[in-house]
Homo-oligomer: A and B are copies of this chain.
Amino acid sequence: MKLNNSSLKNKTLNNINPNNMIIVMKRHAPRAQAEHVMEKITQSGLQPIPLHGTERTVIAVIGDERSFNIQKVRAMPGVSDVMAVLKPYKLAARETKHDDTIINIKGIKIGGKELIVMAGPCSVESEKQINETAKAVKKAGAKILRGGAYKPRTDPYSFEGLGVEGLKMLKDAADENKMIVVTEAMDFASLDNVVKYADIVQIGARNMQNFNLLREVGKSKLPVLLKRGMSATIREWLLAAEYILSTGNPNVILCERGIRTFEDEVRNTFAVNSIPVVKHLSHLPVIADPSHAAGKRMYVSPLAKAGIAAGADGIIVEVHPNPEEALSDGDQSLLPEDFAKMMKELKLIAQAVGRTL
């Protein structure tokens, strides 16, 4: 399961050679301490360039510091601070691949000019529920059917999904409506089942740093919808994508779903600015999840519009034919008629930003 990093590096990083680490020595640190640091850097195959000020020495490092353990330097005597210049992710970086990644799944393209809508219930609850929802969201313009068969729940006494039975219902409903399927895998066991029925595997916010799961889903070769962890920085999110990409699976779709802050009027703070930031830093497609950010039905549509206006490549949204009977997330699920209305409005926003829907 362990990746052979060195061969990967040889293939992809051969020609990167920036100035990339700055080491700041403490004020009046003895010259010998700076020399010790430089010796260690040289031993690592990197080149140190000292800049001696009247009060303090700064050492710039030439080479690829990603092969180097930055914490080791922090632990050396006399070192005040270490600043990394190079982004720690490579395959996910736009610096490495300039053009937008467009993922083509059975003719449905994610990351291109056309926006993509994934819709469906939080959980698959019954054949009737999922079929009814699939029909309604397809009619309103969604191309991808969502629905959970395995539900991570904060509370051990909550509904946890129908498992394989749910996956089958989901797949049947999608087939009947000529849709494709996105659904979540929580662990190795559910992943084994999910890959049999899903076109896109979702990795949930709580698993964004479940690193072995990231590698395993990478190896499945299926496209992956990678939700941002609820307290993950953008850097950590892109490093999580890097885990998947580093297995040779290039099909990662990022999903902003809100972060945890001090604000308590909303379930999560929809970090809409991450959308243009990620589009700038990375070539990967990004979609918005307004449902989990909103937490309440009435806020879903404004957040969906904001996400599209900010440059998202699509949305994933919860729809339920009877929210007050939903076994999970009823309070943030749209009714099919609300969804249809929102889709009409989103088409206008899409046009306003030069996209289609």
The residues of A with any CB-CB pair to B shorter than 8 Å are 1-3, 5, 9, 15-20, 22, 24, 27, 40, 49, 51, 53-58, 60, 62, 66-67, 69, 71-72, 74-76, 81, 83, 85, 88, 95, 152-160, 163, 186-189, 206-207, 209-213, 215, 230-231, 233-236, 239, 242-243, 246, 258-266, 269-277, 280-281, 293-294, 296-299, 302-303, 305-311, 323-331, 333, 345, 348-349, 351-353
The residue from B88, B231, B294, B326 contacting A231, defined by CB atoms under 8 A apart: B231
Minimum C-beta distance from A335 to chain B (A): 10
Contacts of A1 in B (CB 8 A): 160, 163, 189
Minimum C-beta distance from A113 to chain B (A): 16
The residue from B210, B233, B276 contacting A207, defined by CB atoms under 8 A apart: B210
Contacts of A231 in B (CB 8 A): 230-231, 260, 262
CA distance A167 to B254 in the complex (A): 36
A to B CB contacts below 8 Å, 18 in the list: A18-B58, A19-B56, A19-B57, A51-B62, A67-B157, A71-B328, A72-B330, A75-B326, A207-B210, A231-B260, A233-B262, A264-B264, A265-B274, A306-B307, A345-B352, A348-B353, A349-B353, A351-B352
The residue from B56, B233, B306, B324 contacting A263, defined by CB atoms under 8 A apart: B233
Residue from A55, A187, A210, A305 having most chain B Cβ neighbours under 10 A: A305
**Chain B, residue nearest A206 (CB):** B209
CA distance A74 to B27 in the complex (A): 26
- Indicate if the CB atoms of A260 and B262 lie closer than 8 Å: yes
- Indicate if the CB atoms of A299 and B277 lie closer than 8 Å: yes
The residue from B17, B309, B324 contacting A306, defined by CB atoms under 8 A apart: B309
CA distance A20 to B22 in the complex (A): 11
Beyond A75-B297, A272-B272, A303-B310, 6 additional pairs, beta carbon < 8 A: A5-B156, A49-B51, A72-B330, A233-B265, A265-B277, A280-B298
